[in-house]
Amino acid sequence: MSRKFAGALLIFCVAGLVTFLAIRLFFTDPQLKAVPVDLVVQRAVDSSNRHSVDTAVSLLKQGYLVLRMGLGADSRLLAQMGRKNKSYSHCGIVLMEHGYPFVYHAIGGENNPDARLRRDSAKFFFSPVYNLALAVMQYDLDSGRIAGLKDIVLAYYRQRPKFDLKFDLATNDALYCSEFIYKAVNKAADDTAYIQPAILGGRRFVGIDDLFVNRHAHIIWQTVFK
């Protein structure tokens, strides 16, 4: 077998495997069932999408805020709750572990059956199969505050609070996604007004946009998937 033929065969097999996995994911993930299967496959194999994820992962550092816009109707609804920016529906905090970034985030729904605080690899968190867009943000916390933020996030993860379906900012035994970031970052900053909540329906609420549309957050990188 020539090297050229062997290389072509390897590329064909890899492409087939990726396509198979994307189709399998489509039929088992309720979030994607309304999405045409050819679009799911396209997102999985598109080289620019893969490059975008690799770029985002390479930029991540301890304590960075990461954002994504999901595909489902629930994601669109969450994004619409933002008062100033409706580009993103979910968020997480990055912790570096042995040189690789992991994302800690509070999420509910069928993709997280126990509804407890999660730890996912950055590549999984950013997957273009699940998402329309992503962003990387940095807070203006010094190294000491960042170290404190790591300890706070890990303490929350040990407690494994459930996702707060009531979106009640006054409780701590359950947390919704932006509430987790809001409480962890404000505690690390030792400033209850570092990130400020909004008033929604007469209640205090932290929208995704409240986390990054403020003077303490700075955009590192963002993109929209094809």
The domain locations on the chain are: 46-224
Global pTM value? 0.82
CATH code that applies to domain 46-224: 3.90.1720.10
Choose the weakest-confidence range: 53-57, 74-78, 194-198: 74-78
Q: Where is 115: in which H helix or E strand?
A: none
Q: What is the pLDDT of residues 131-188, one digit of tens each?
A: 999 999 999 999 999 999 999 999 999 999 999 999 999 999 999 999 999 999 999 9
- List, in sequence order, every residue forming a beta bridge with 92; answer none if it has no partner: 66
* CA-angle at 165, arms to 160 and 169, nearest 5°: 80
Q: How confident is the model at residue 3 (pLDDT cuts 50, 70, 90)?
A: low
Q: What is the pLDDT of residue 189?
A: 98
Contact 105, 125 (CB under 8 A): yes
